[in-house]
Amino acid sequence: MAGPYPPPPAGAEGNPTTPDYRAEPYPYPPGYPAALPPPVGYPTGPARSRAIWWVLGALAVVGALVAAVVAFGTVRTAGGSGAFTDASAERTIQNYLTALSDGDTEVVARNTACGMFDALKDRRSDLALARLASDAFRKQFNRAEVVSIDKIVLSSAYQAQVLFTMRVAPNSRTRNARDEEQGVAQLLRQGDQLLVCSYLLRTAAQF
């Protein structure tokens, strides 16, 4: 029974005719193949050098700022008595002055050894120097009390130079004695504590 659609027309050999797509070549654009476009060049010479130096300079500035922020944050956020604050510096210097006036040579030597006291195998010379420092201090003052921290100059996150004022009770044999004196102490942060590595009395010149 014939369908509603007529059969496709037969070819020369009786097969249905179909388009031969291989018979026609692919329509390439005119002039193909052609030469490739020239490569895109990168900036060379002075312009490129300047750009590189600008980038390196910016990176150096950023690195310096990061290092400064980290160092400043380390100093400011150090916890406990190891932070370089007016209160901790005053407490540390006062303990040292009290040890000098009381003749506590071990405390004096522990401070002036700058954190190495516990590792020393022979402490006799350190204790002898501490005794001399205590004797020299007691020849000047009967006692000394820190009344103010005048300036803290940070050398690093672990070292600081402190200018302070102390109220003193001069020895009766001391000439031109005053009620207040200024001193300079070199402080070292060792773990959770501060140490007085050195102490210098600023004696005013007499004119």
Report for 9-23, 28-42, 96-110: range of highest mean pLDDT: 96-110
- For 40-65, the pLDDT digits (tens) are 555 555 666 667 777 777 777 767 76
What does the buried/exposed string (b/e) look like for 2-17 if buried means 16 or more CB atoms within 10 Å of the residue's CB? eeeeeeeeeeeeeeee
pTM, rounded to two decimals = 0.59
C-beta neighbour count of 160 within 10 angstroms: 20
> In one letter, which amino acid is 31?
G
Judge residue 130's burial from the number of C-beta atoms within 10 Å of its C-beta, 0-12 exposed, 13-18 middle, 19 or more buried: buried
SS3 150: strand
Q: Is the pLDDT of residue 23 over 60?
A: no
- First CA to last CA distance, the chain: 141
Mean pLDDT of 156-176: 86
Going by pLDDT thresholds of 50, 70 and 90, the confidence category of residue 81 is: very low
Selected from 2.60.120.260, 3.40.47.10, 3.40.50.300, 3.10.450.50, the CATH number assigned to the domain covering 80-202 reads 3.10.450.50
Q: Which tokens is 93 given?
A: 């210097």
Domain ranges of the chain: 45-77, 80-202
Q: Residues of the chain with pLDDT > 90: what percent? A: 47
